[in-house]
Structure 1
């Protein structure tokens, strides 16, 4: 458990250092810890969204059936928010870890940075891929923007707007 905690703080550390570096370049080095926490929260939520989409695809449910009031949705969100609050906002424990990670060798920090940024890229690509799979299912099943009713409605809307300008 301690290794997972340390990895989580290292992930925060690399995001924090990246935001700190870019903020200094543009002259806005303020609230760096908040920005880093926001980035981590967004990545976690994007990861949960992709898992939710995969769950919808595997169970053949409709995406519209998932709402924020369902326990399968709001419990993970609350866990993420509480985890981030108690890790980064409520205490300054992350500062101790940042000082510890600053002492790592350049080689270890480069390797760790590559792992962190590969994880970030993986989460983003995974989110886009899950949406792509959802779109392909909609196309195959003629639902959503590929339903006959929606296409007909768009044709009528286009013909009305085209008639106004002639």
Structure 2
């Protein structure tokens, strides 16, 4: 469980550093939290599409349904309490800043692969939903 938490905070760290590097009017911690929430929501959307494909083809994806709003609300609440509510992310940022260059490079590639996985997974889910609806 600690490895998952550490990976979660490392993902936050990389987005935080990207937020500091890029010009933005929003604070970097908010930008990082928002980016992680977006990734999680995209992953949930693709899982919902897979659910429709493999388990319930009669289900429709509606943003106003409780089946969709509850997980999306859960993502926002968890991210708020993990990052914005307490300032424990600051200790993780300091800790990850001290990592050696090669370890940080491996972590950067892991984050890039994870983001590519989420977007690739979403593209595949859209492709499958296109076949179901005949839009393709």
| TM-score in same-fold range (> 0.5) | yes
Alignment-derived partner of residue 40 in structure 1 = 36
Deviation at 1:15, TM superposition (A): 1.1
Shift of 1:91: 0.6
Query: How far apart, CA to CA, are the structure 1 residues paired with 2:43 and 2:61?
Result: 19
Q: Which residue of the partner structure matches residue 84 of structure 1?
A: 79
1:51 aligns with 2:86: no
**Hey, what's the Cα distance between the residues in 1 that align with 2:43 and 2:75?**
11
Structure 1 unaligned blocks of 5 or more: 140-144, 147-166
Distance in 2 between the 1:99 and 1:29 partners? 23
2:2 counterpart residue number:
2
Instruction: Give the corresponding residue for 2:101.
Output: 106
The higher relative CO (CA closer than 8 Å, separation ≥ 6) is in 2
Give how far 1:13 is off.
Answer: 0.2
- CA distance in 1 between counterparts of 2:124 and 2:61 reads 21
Q: Secondary structure at the match of 1:47?
A: helix
Task: State which structure, 1 or 2, has the greater radius of gyration over its C-alpha atoms.
Answer: 1
TM-score, scaled to structure 2: 0.90
2:15 aligned residue: 15
* Structure 2: unaligned runs, 5 residues or longer: none
Cα deviation per residue 1:86-145 (whole Å; 9 max; x = unaligned)? 011101100110000000000000000000011001101111110111101222xxxxx5
Quote the Cα distance in structure 1 between the aligned partners of 2:92 and 2:50: 34
Q: Give the deviation of 1:29 after TM superposition.
A: 6.2
Higher share in helix: 1
How far did residue 75 of structure 1 move?
Answer: 3.0
State the superposition RMSD in angstroms: 1.9
How many residue pairs were aligned? 136
Q: Distance in 2 between matches of 1:4 and 1:104?
A: 18
